[in-house]
Amino acid sequence: MVSLLTDTLYTYFCPRCGKPTQFNSERRGLCLDCFAELKGATLKQKNFKMEITVCVGCGKIRYGNSWFEPTRSNFDKILKNLAKRTQLRFYEFKVEMPTDIEISSLGQYDKIYVLIRIPITSHNVLRRGIELRINKAFCPLCSKKRSGKYYESVLHIRFSRDIESEFMLILDEFINTSMIQMEKLEVIDVKKDGAYGVVIRFSDRKMARSLLTSLNKKFSLVILKRYREQVTVEINNKLQRRVVEKYFIRLLPT
């Protein structure tokens, strides 16, 4: 027999009374009713306090020593794991977020209230609240970007004196617009390279490509050399393999 209880499909039955229920090792497999009868456990607590840490650079959420993409399903999983340290461990619940909050922008808040729905029987649903404190930090990758030691693309650009001011103007404008549109922390580092040259490092390769596209509209781009280099970057004491794109370019007036 399979019975539908709210939106959960039960295929497990309580060993004591035979009622369909969800297996929960914390309740030693018992259904909520039997568990409450034997242990006298009821959910009296109305609100729960928990805290998570979010990266202010990219929005990732920390759980243990790992950082997870700020998706709804990761958020729910992390919250359910945190709930195992509270009375909630005896229950199955669904997370109902405040509708106006996006998981990727949790870093904007100091505290949010999360509503949870706990189906007890087919017509009894408990609602509880979690007061969730949002701690802020930088994840290892964003820390690396901030220190300027992480980049994915390097452009070595040379230009002639007659197009210098126009090139600098386009570059400035590109950097300003990119900074405004950025959804997460990225770094563009510009260094002079001789009288008519610059070296630009980008923490995100898409930005480098987009600059090349803008330059291509105004100048002729002569790509003298282009290659990809394998590098190892140390992030949080772990070595990670990354690819750095390098371009050597000469800009000519059209």
Residues that bind Zn ion (CB under 5 A): 14, 16-17, 19, 31, 34, 55, 57-58, 139, 142
Cβ distance to Zn ion smaller for residue 64 or 194: 64
113 CB contacts (<8 Å, ≥6 apart)? 98, 129, 130, 131, 132
Nearer of residues 31 and 130 to Zn ion, judged by Cβ: 31
Cβ proximity to Zn ion: between 120 and 139 the closer is 139
**From the CB of 1, what's the least distance to Zn ion, in Å?**
15
CB closer to Zn ion, 126 vs 212:
126
Rounded Cα–Cα distance for residues 61 and 134 (Å): 10
User: Where do we find the tokens 């202010």?
Assistant: 56
State the minimum distance, in angstroms, from the CB of residue 99 to Zn ion. Answer: 25
Q: How far is the CB of 137 from Zn ion (least distance, A)?
A: 9
Q: Read off φ and ψ for residue 37, nearest 5 degrees.
A: -65, -45
Least Å distance, CB 233 to Zn ion, is 14
CB 153, min distance to Zn ion, A:
19
CB of 21 or CB of 174, closer to Zn ion: 21
Rounded to the nearest whole angstrom, what is the least distance from the CB of residue 229 to Zn ion in the complex? 24
Query: Which lies closer to Zn ion via its Cβ, residue 54 or residue 215?
Result: 54
> How far, in Å, CA of 113 to CA of 97, rounded?
8
HEC profile of 212-252: HHHHHHHEEEEEEEEEEEEEEEEECCEEEEEEEEEEEEEEE
- Distances in Å between the Cα of 79 and the Cα atoms of 55, 127, 132, 136, 140 are 17, 16, 9, 17, 22
Distant-in-sequence, close-in-space partners of 201: CB < 8 Å, separation ≥ 6: 148, 151, 153, 154, 187, 188, 189
Q: What are the structure tokens assigned to 135, written together? A: 């701690």
For residue 191, the 8-state DSSP code is E
